[in-house]
Structure 1
Amino acid sequence: MLYFRRATEDDVPEIVSFTMDTWEWGDYIPRVIGRWVAERRAYVAVWSGRIAAVAAMLLIGKSAYLQGLRVRPELRGRGIGEAMTRFLLDEAKRGGASIATLLVAEWNAPSHKLVQKVGFKLRMYIYGGRPLGNSGGRCLSGVEAYEAVAEALGKSRGYACLPDEPWVCTALTPWDLLSRGTPCVDESLYIGRFSFGKARGDPGVDVTSLTPDGYKERYAAHFLYAIEL
């Protein structure tokens, strides 16, 4: 019987064991699962006494962001990923969310198929990688900062990535962004490690943006999917 629960610290070694080699280059899950568990955003699917899948969900106001879904290799193809996604959507609704989002890399055909089956719709493209390092411009505060962020969100239909966790991209309010970073404007508005235009920031860390420009090393484009709850 398949059931779901919040992940615990004791689950971390087992999760790491089946997420170390997801792709040829490995996976980022082993690096972050301990933090996700501590932040109570990680969940597991359990089948026959062992962890069959892991995923995480972060609630931000009325939005939920789903991330890191991984199914144990020998159990793939049995609908576990779909069942876990639907469980997380139910958890999001119970937590007060009215919309849920997630990112899927452009090359990940199985994940595109799964989220579309569940009912997610493509909303926009998100680009990420290491920027050229061309930060600068004028930083904003007060009413000017709020108005600039509100205008930028209006153009992006309310979607953006977090300034301090740029791979978390969902429907956000100006206050969601302003509580986590200071907006600055150069050719376009950027806030922390996320830009509404071309990539900005420290060339040694990942950033995300709404256009593919400004990168010295750009990763695969990601599709931002959303579903109303």
Structure 2
Amino acid sequence: MDFKIARDEDAYKIYDFCKEMIRTDARMSFTDGTSLSVIENWLLDEAVTLYIAVEDDMVAAMFRAKRGSGNKSHSAYIACAVHPTFRRRELASKLTLFGLEDQKRKGVVIARTYIYSWNKPSIKTIEKCGFELAGRVSMHEYEKTLNAYIDDLIYHKVL
């Protein structure tokens, strides 16, 4: 498994990864990767760095860091997901730590993420990476499948 910063030539592989996130109804931001042009825009955006874990020319996991601008340039908002085929290998935590180390080298001081309160695997992963619960957005949205309101948990880590 190779971990690297994504480049333009990785766009098709990343798009395939995002299509799988959409197909499996992943409840996270990579489902916004609905076209190759969206992926290309992510790769062109100087505030965004995509980190990918690649095996057999396939994106197994992706971590995105979006750096703040102006007086928020010390921070990054992060997201990570693992392709269903590659789960239970600790890829999310390994790739997250890989990306955070690079972000720290680039001057990011704090990373933040939001996780739905029902998403126990993501909560476990982010806490394993040293993130702390900083707060919550209570009753963020109504989840029909759970017949309940769910919170959005706010996590942060000082790098």
TM-score band by shorter chain is 0.7 to 0.9
The alignment's C-alpha RMSD in Å is: 2.5
| CA–CA distance in structure 2, aligned partners of residues 6 and 64 of structure 1 | 17
Pairwise CA distance, 1:29: 2.2
Per the alignment, residue 15 of structure 2 pairs with: 13
Please, which moves more after superposition, 86-95 or 121-130?
121-130
Q: Which has the larger radius of gyration?
A: 1
1:221 and 2:136 aligned:
no
Q: Does structure 1 retain, via aligned residues, the 8 Å contact 2:63–2:78?
A: yes
For the structure 1 residues 63 and 121, does the alpha-carbon distance in structure 2 shift closer, same or farther, using more than 3 Å as the test? same
Output the TM-score relative to the length of structure 2.
0.75
* Matched-pair contact (CA < 8 Å) for 1:4–1:43: yes
Residues 6, 51 of structure 2: 8 Å contact kept: yes
Q: Partners in 1 of 2:102 and 2:121 — Cα distance? A: 23
Tell me the distance in 2 between the aligned counterparts of 1:123 and 1:28: 20
- Number of the residue aligned with 1:44: 52
The reply on whether 1:65 has 2:69 as its aligned counterpart is no
Instruction: Kindly provide the CA deviation profile for residues 125-152 of structure 1, in whole angstroms up to 9, marking residues without a partner as x.
Output: 125459xxxxxxxxxxxxxxxxxxxxxx
Contact 1:36 1:56 survives alignment (8 Å) = no
> Which structure: greater helix fraction?
2
Match of 2:89 in 1: 78
| Aligned with 1:115 (options 107, 126, 129) | 126
What secondary structure is seen at the aligned counterpart in 1 of 2:150? coil
CA contact (8 A) 1:53 1:81 kept: yes
8 Å contact from structure 1 (residues 57, 66) kept in 2: yes
Aligned partner of 1:167 in structure 2 is none
Of structures 1 and 2, the one with the larger relative CO (CA 8 A, separation 6+) is 1
Shift of 1:228: 1.0
Structure 2 partner of 1:194: none
Report how far residue 88 of structure 1 moved: 1.5
Q: Aligned with 1:15: secondary structure?
A: helix
The offset of 1:117, in angstroms, is: 0.9
Residue identity over aligned pairs, in percent, reads 25
Q: What is the TM-score normalised by the length of structure 1?
A: 0.54
Equivalent AA in structure 2 for residue 11 of structure 1 = K
Alignment length (residue pairs): 140
User: Where do residues 156-175 of structure 1 align in structure 2 (5 Å cutoff)?
Assistant: none
Residues 40-80 of structure 1, C-alpha deviations (whole Å, 9 max, x = no match): 5222211232211112101121111102x111101100011
Counterpart of 1:29 in structure 2: which amino acid?
F
* Structure 1 residue 36 displacement after superposition: 2.4
